[in-house]
Structure 1
Amino acid sequence: MQIDLSGRTALVTGSTQGIGHAIATGLAGAGARVLVNGRSEQRVATAVGTVRSGSGGGEVTGAVGDLATEQGAAAVLAAAPAVDILVNNLGIFGSASALEIDDAEWRRYFDVNVLSAIRLIRAYLPGMKERGWGRVLNLASDSAVVIPAEMIHYGMTKTSLLAVSRGFAKDAAGTGVTVNSVIAGPTHTGGVEAFVRELVGDDKPWDEAQHEFMVTYRPQSLLQRLIEPEEIASLVVYLASPHASATTGGALRVDGGYIDSILP
């Protein structure tokens, strides 16, 4: 299958590292003009260079702004007034006892993980509908369905993204625009490495620590290893392409079989 996104502009939020960086690289490699987003000008500039290099020299630029704030969103919209492909990847996570999380922290998780996506959908979806083509992809998580006891606040935000995706897909019905969420399973990123170390200790070799984490905290995984970011990116690039024109309003899983369900 040949995926050609030439002539399309894509914005990937939170794409200076991890899954977002892999998605940006994949989209650029398929021919899209890609905007890399992050809060730091230096980190965005560095990521633009690595995405461009990793994609074989695709057109890659930066869009600096903290999307958890209205001001940051305005800065990103100024850098990218219109896009054809919106990938809402930005997110934060961490373990904590739900009974000890205060209101401010609940709001922070909602602002970063959910409201940032809603802001951009509101801004970009009307133009996509007018042009008769567009892709909105919201990065959810297995935690949206299998709520971890140590990350209820995080799981809540990812469940919210499933509802946001389904609702906006209905708003875009019949316009040529698709809206989907991608349920990513436990993925190997720098942040997840730190999270694994936090839970199982930092005195073990990485392979041993990863195995202990999967067995103890994610035993449902059929893959029995962390997913690589490029494996998530492959599904996102497909869903961003014309080949996925009949897929909308869905929650597509790339979770290593983590969610114990026969439904998508």
Structure 2
Amino acid sequence: MQIDLSTKTAIVTGSTGGIGLAAAKGLARAGARVIVNGRESDRVETAIRAVLEAAPGSDVSGIAADLGSAEGCDSFVKAAPEADILVNNVGIFGPKPFFEISDETWETFFQLNVMSGVRLARAYMPKMMEHGWGRVVFLSSESALNIPADMIHYGFTKTALLSISRGLAKLAAGTGVTVNSVLPGPTMSEGVKEMLKEMAEEKGVSVEEAGEMFVKSERPSSVLGRPATVEEVANMIVYACSKEASATSGGALRVDGGVVDSIVP
């Protein structure tokens, strides 16, 4: 399969690192004009250079904006008023005992993980539908289905994204616009590596070995038996954004290494 997105403009939110940056690189390699995003200008510039290094000669730009507020989303849309592809990747996570999660923390997770995608889909989808082509991808998680007891607030936001993406797929039926969610399992992003450092130091092992230990102890249903790489997750995102994925809409596309113990998607 030769994915060609050379006439398309793709936005990837939260793309200064991790899965988002890997997705931006993959879309650029497929020929898309890519717009990366982060909160800090210097990190956005670094991400632009990383994409150019991965896809020399590609058309890549960046917008620094905090998408955890309506004002931040509005400023982003003003800077980039149209797009053919929207990858709602931005999000935060982190373990915290349920009884210690404040209302403020709940609201912070909801505004960034959920409402950023809602606001940007509301801004970009009408023109996609008018033009007769578009791709919208929401980054959910296997935690949307296997709610972690130590990250209930995070799991809740990822479950919400499944509902939103499925509903929007129905809304866009027959327009040439597809909407899907992608569900990674444990993935070796920068954030996960930071979480694993303490375990690695305690056990006297590498971060990669600590990742395998984590998956085997905390996600024992995993068929893969290790965390995925960010590139492995990005491959699914790029496919969902491709012209070849025209019959894939309303799906919850799992890249979870088999963590979700189910024979149906």
| TM-score w.r.t. length of structure 1 | 0.97
The whole-number CA distance in structure 1 between the counterparts of 2:136 and 2:264 is 22
**Structure-1 residue corresponding to 2:55:** 55
**Structure-1 residue corresponding to 2:147:** 147
Over residues 159-213 of structure 1, what are the superposed CA-to-partner deviations in whole Å (9 max), with x where a residue is unaligned? Answer: 0000000011111111000000001111001100112235x36333223322321
- Contact kept in structure 2, 1:36 and 1:63, CA below 8 Å: yes
The whole-number CA distance in structure 2 between the counterparts of 1:39 and 1:69 is 12
- Contact kept in structure 1, 2:9 and 2:83, CA below 8 Å: yes
Matched, 1:202 2:228: no
**Structure-1 residue corresponding to 2:122:** 122
Of 205-214 and 120-129, deviating more is 205-214
State how 1:65-144 maps to structure 2 within 5 Å. Answer: 65-144=65-144
Shift of 1:52: 1.3
**Structure-2 residue corresponding to 1:236:** 237
Instruction: Provide the secondary structure at the position in 1 that maps to 2:62.
Output: strand
Q: Which runs of 5+ in 2 are unaligned?
A: none
**Structure-1 residue corresponding to 2:10:** 10
The whole-number CA distance in structure 2 between the counterparts of 1:141 and 1:110 is 15
**Structure-1 residue corresponding to 2:30:** 30
- Residue type at the aligned position of 2:31: G
**Structure-1 residue corresponding to 2:169:** 169
- Contact kept in structure 2, 1:34 and 1:59, CA below 8 Å: yes
Of 31-40 and 213-222, deviating more is 213-222
Of 72-81 and 179-188, deviating more is 72-81
- Residue type at the aligned position of 1:86: L
Deviation above 6 Å: which 4+ runs of structure 1? none
**Structure-1 residue corresponding to 2:264:** 263
State how 1:176-255 maps to structure 2 within 5 Å. Answer: 176-198=176-198, 200=199, 202-203=201-202, 204-206=204-206, 207-255=208-256
The whole-number CA distance in structure 2 between the counterparts of 1:14 and 1:238 is 19
Over residues 46-101 of structure 1, what are the superposed CA-to-partner deviations in whole Å (9 max), with x where a residue is unaligned? Answer: 10011111123211000110011122112211221000000000010000111211
- Contact kept in structure 2, 1:14 and 1:90, CA below 8 Å: yes
Over residues 137-166 of structure 1, what are the superposed CA-to-partner deviations in whole Å (9 max), with x where a residue is unaligned? Answer: 000000000111111110000000000000
RMSD: 1.1
- Contact kept in structure 2, 1:19 and 1:189, CA below 8 Å: yes
Alignment length, in residue pairs?
A: 263
The whole-number CA distance in structure 1 between the counterparts of 2:127 and 2:40 is 28
The whole-number CA distance in structure 2 between the counterparts of 1:78 and 1:109 is 24
The whole-number CA distance in structure 2 between the counterparts of 1:208 and 1:118 is 37
- Contact kept in structure 1, 2:200 and 2:209, CA below 8 Å: no
- Contact kept in structure 2, 1:64 and 1:75, CA below 8 Å: no
Instruction: Provide the secondary structure at the position in 1 that maps to 2:63.
Output: strand
- Contact kept in structure 2, 1:144 and 1:159, CA below 8 Å: yes
The whole-number CA distance in structure 1 between the counterparts of 2:186 and 2:21 is 16
| TM-score w.r.t. length of structure 2 | 0.97
The whole-number CA distance in structure 1 between the counterparts of 2:40 and 2:223 is 37
The whole-number CA distance in structure 1 between the counterparts of 2:97 and 2:261 is 25
Q: Which runs of 5+ in 1 are unaligned?
A: none
Instruction: Provide the secondary structure at the position in 2 that maps to 1:261.
Output: coil
Q: Identical aligned pairs, as a percentage?
A: 55
- Residue type at the aligned position of 2:156: M
